Amino acid sequence: MNIQDLLRENIKNLTPYSSARDEFQGEASIYLDANENSFGSPLETAFNRYPDPLQLELKKKLTTIKGVPAQNIFIGNGSDEAIDILFRAFCRPGIDNVVTVPPTYGMYEVSANINDVEIRKVNLLPNYQLNLEGIAEAIDKNTKLIFICSPNNPTGNSINREDIETILANFHGIVVIDEAYINFSRQKTFIQELTEYSNLVVLQTMSKAWGLAALRVGMAYACEEIIEIFNKVKPPYNINRASQELALKALDNIDQVNQWIRETVAERNKLAKSLTEITIVEQVYPSDANFLLVKIKYADYLYNFLVDKGIIVRNRSKVTLCESCLRITVGTPDENKILINAIKEFVI
Ligand SMILES: Cc1ncc(COP(=O)(O)O)c(C=O)c1O
């Protein structure tokens, strides 16, 4: 498979912006090349210099944790940036199309619409697994990307690995596997398969298990050729220095994060059990993520009742295949207890 054939012509021919830090990379005593404030910052920490455009320290650390070489890593301002770059690099507005498998993460569709790219929706089956035949029918020569979220948001389940492998092996475009919730899953990540599939892009994020949603740090793992395309299209300094430094520091605290993951999974199971025992709850779907999709009677009324009590869950009751469903993030043990008691108080 030739990645260059998938690329938009203007991106193929693009001369990327060359920043001051691209043009001089060594150590110097006086920097007068980037029109920064030479005096400093009005803060305790000096932020007056532009950050590393390629976040090499952070990538080095990710390499030791993930076992993926730095040249196979792109870091974005959240994984949402990686999603947007995929559209801008590969999809010709008004000509190309992408496949999504609803119900799924909403940003694929929003990014498609922003970039004026047709979106072909092939709903998941009632068991929330892929409709492989439907996907095969939806694809044509202008289909550039397929988005598969696993574990899937908002359903919480992992997508069957063999089905994803079937798509990876047969689709002549890019398969994006969004693993935002992979840390909570019993399933293995796909990042070890990068050498096997040149059309694979795996998205992960520091916004979920790593607890850094406010810093906006997301990763795309892919073959070197795709990572070079990301780097060509991205804004020069897309990850600010504070985020780079704090993310690097956080990666030293992997034991804490693993502890939280274990606690979250234990709480998820407890919460699922407690919810199942409530009479208005019709179904708690199996989850590999840090949230539960719950089919519940009077979902809209209950949602508003919880809002009035200061408890905010996500109302998904209008979403295809999620009718009458609320999506509930697993909280701390105390938060989960308060939630359960509040739902028990609800009377229609
Ligand atoms: C499946 C999925 N992918 C990506 C994201 C966005 O992640 P980030 O914060 O890295 O942009 C989310 C956020 O909710 C998500 O649910």
pTM score, whole prediction: 0.97
- The span from the CA of 269 to the CA of 286, in Å, is 9
Distance from the alpha carbon of residue 216 to the mean position of ligand 1, in angstroms:
10
Low-confidence stretches of the chain (pLDDT beneath 70): none
Environment class of residue 229 by beta-carbon count within 10 Å: exposed (0-12), middle (13-18) or buried (19+)?
buried
Q: Which two tokens stand for residue 179?
A: 């693993």
Backbone angles phi, psi at 178, to 5 degrees: -90, 110
Q: Is the CB of 178 under 6 A from ligand 1?
A: yes
- The span from the CA of 233 to the CA of 108, in Å, is 18
Q: Is the CB of 329 under 6 A from ligand 1?
A: no
Kind of pairing, strands 281-284 and 218-222?
unpaired
- Facing residues of 201 across strands? 176, 222
Distance from the alpha carbon of residue 278 to the mean position of ligand 1, in angstroms:
30
Q: Is the CB of 171 under 6 A from ligand 1?
A: no
The residue whose CB lies within 8 Å of the most ligand 1 atoms, and thus the one to mutate among 79, 290, 314, is 79
**What's the confidence (pLDDT) of residue 24?**
87
Sort residue 94 into left (φ over 0), alpha (ψ -120 to 50) or beta.
left
Q: Is the CB of 184 under 6 A from ligand 1?
A: no
Q: Read off the pLDDT of residues 205-242 as tens digits, 9 standing for 90 and up.
A: 999 999 999 999 999 999 999 999 999 999 999 999 99
**What's the confidence (pLDDT) of residue 25?**
85
> What's 92's DSSP letter?
-
The residue whose CB lies within 8 Å of the most ligand 1 atoms, and thus the one to mutate among 205, 243, 314, is 205
The residue whose CB lies within 8 Å of the most ligand 1 atoms, and thus the one to mutate among 86, 107, 147, 159, is 107
The residue whose CB lies within 8 Å of the most ligand 1 atoms, and thus the one to mutate among 152, 153, 155, 216, is 153
Q: Is the CB of 96 under 6 A from ligand 1?
A: no
**What's the confidence (pLDDT) of residue 348?**
80
Distance from the alpha carbon of residue 74 to the mean position of ligand 1, in angstroms:
15
* Contact of 6 with 174, CB cutoff 8 Å: yes
Distance from the alpha carbon of residue 42 to the mean position of ligand 1, in angstroms:
33
Q: From the CB of residue 109, how many other CB atoms can be counted at a distance below 10 Å?
A: 17
Give the distance, in angstroms, between the CA of residue 95 and the centroid of all CA atoms in the same chain: 26
Distance from the alpha carbon of residue 213 to the mean position of ligand 1, in angstroms:
9
- Smallest CA separation from ligand 1 atom 2, residue: 180
> What's 346's DSSP letter?
-
Backbone angles phi, psi at 73, to 5 degrees: -120, 130
Q: Is the CB of 205 under 6 A from ligand 1?
A: yes
**What's the confidence (pLDDT) of residue 22?**
87
- The span from the CA of 286 to the CA of 164, in Å, is 19
Q: Is the CB of 213 under 6 A from ligand 1?
A: yes
Q: Which two tokens stand for residue 90?
A: 């590969």
**What's the confidence (pLDDT) of residue 306?**
98
Distance from the alpha carbon of residue 246 to the mean position of ligand 1, in angstroms:
19
- Facing residues of 149 across strands? 178
**What's the confidence (pLDDT) of residue 1?**
79
- Smallest CA separation from ligand 1 atom 7, residue: 79
Which atom of ligand 1 is nearest to 76's Cα? 10
**What's the confidence (pLDDT) of residue 190?**
98
**What's the confidence (pLDDT) of residue 338?**
98
Nearest to 227 by CA among 100, 112, 86, 117: 86
Distance from the alpha carbon of residue 291 to the mean position of ligand 1, in angstroms:
13
- Smallest CA separation from ligand 1 atom 12, residue: 180
For residue 96, the number of C-alpha atoms closer than 13 Å in the C-beta half-sphere is 22
- The span from the CA of 101 to the CA of 120, in Å, is 8
